[in-house]
Amino acid sequence: MASRFYTRPAQENDSDELIALIAATPQVGAITINFERTPDFFMATKVVTQILDVWVAIERESDRVAAMFSIGQRDVYVNGGRQKVRYGNDLRIHPDFKSGRTLFNLLKCYRKAMGSDWMQTVILSDNDASLNSIGSGRSITPTYYDFGEMTTHMLYLTNPRLTMPRPGSESKFNIRKADHNDIDLMQVFFEQQAKTKQFYPHYDFIKLLNGDEYYRGLVISNYYLMFEGNNLVAMAGIWDQSSFKQTRFVAYSKLMSVARLLNNAYSKLFGGMMLPKAGDKLSYVSLHSLLVINDDEKLFSRLLQYIYNDCLALNYQALVCGLPSLDARQRILEQYRSKVLHSKHFIASYHDDPRHKFDTTYPLYLEPARL
């Protein structure tokens, strides 16, 4: 007897159903949030991974998409060298098909697609359902090995940050936006610095000019360069992904509904981010490609302040910046009013624990804009 479901690679014409599947499976909590992918599911997926590997489970009778997962590949730095690594995300099952059989069929496909590879994945710390699932001990699921945590700050863009330079230091640093003439300089600086981090995603800045889908929505002027004299000492970009990826505040718990009203009343009087109404989207921009020589806190603080003020002037509600939880620069982010999200980073494999392969002298780096 044929199984109720079969699995196959996702196709471009599955986009509408995949968008509907995401809408039906929000991140439930005090604030129920959904990370949407309109108008085309694959636009956002091609920003997360360079080589797509998305699979769907189809109910035979209705021909509906019942579930999906993505384990595509992208170039990251591992132990100082560049290599293709899988990133697992979007493991979702539609509420209409939440049965053990759906999951079994999906994970059977998952195991075959993974083969001998290992992958990275990130799970929000308050996503109890996913965290309980990965610890279930099922042989059909990969083993998830802890490999660091991430703290992401959604900085409320409210009032300008005032700079207070020391006497005589005003001209020591110069921050400006990048242009096409900076691409070679940026690439050299990037490759020197990014390879010192574990899992830093590789960037090829010339591809910003060529319409590469991995850089959708990015232009060279989205980058900020910080110089000490003639030397480039730090850089970062901002990325507005709202044309293909959105964050919707679906619902608030009763307690959080009251907290939202109090927050918004306070924000009107004293400045702060207005929490959206249930059903509304948040207007934000993400900090990415962050590289600072020696991870210097003072350089990072000055660059962040400059970018914060620029984003405020552009009328965004928030600036999203994520760093490993153990990164000393977290204390700079803590000086801003923000909504904080904690995430757990895992290495997953169906085979032996691969963590012994990673040199722990390389600090972890994860890019929120590519998760």
Residue-range domain boundaries for the chain: 5-148, 154-245+283-370
Output the average pLDDT for the chain: 92
Does the fold of domain 154-245+283-370 match that of domain 5-148?
Answer: yes
The domain made up of 5-148 has a fold known as Aminopeptidase (3.40.630)
Mean pLDDT of 333-359: 94
Q: What is the pLDDT of residue 105?
A: 81
Check: CB of residue 144 under 8 Å from CB of residue 131. no
pLDDT tens column, 184-223: 999 999 999 999 999 999 999 999 988 899 999 999 999 9
Q: In 10 A of CB 131, how many CB atoms?
A: 15
Q: What is the pLDDT of residue 172?
A: 85
Class at the top of the CATH hierarchy for domain 154-245+283-370: alpha beta
At residue 342, the 3 state secondary structure works out as strand
pLDDT band at 158 (very low <50, low <70, confident <90, very high): confident
Residue 164, pLDDT above cutoff 70? no
DSSP assignment string, 209-266: GTT-GGGTT--GGGEEEEEETTEEEEEEEEE--TTT-EEEEEEE-HHHHHHHHHHHHH
| CA distance to 170, 171, 225, 234, 267, per residue, from 228 (Å) | 11, 9, 10, 9, 37
Residue 170, pLDDT above cutoff 60? no
pLDDT tens column, 45-89: 999 999 999 999 999 999 999 999 999 999 999 999 999 999 999
Alpha carbons 30 and 258: distance in angstroms, whole number: 11
Q: What is the pLDDT of residue 1?
A: 54
Residue 163, pLDDT above cutoff 80? no
Mean pLDDT of 148-176: 81
Q: Which residues contact 345 (CB under 8 A, 6 or more apart)?
A: 120, 121, 122, 146, 147, 148, 149, 150, 364, 366
Alpha carbons 103 and 92: distance in angstroms, whole number: 9
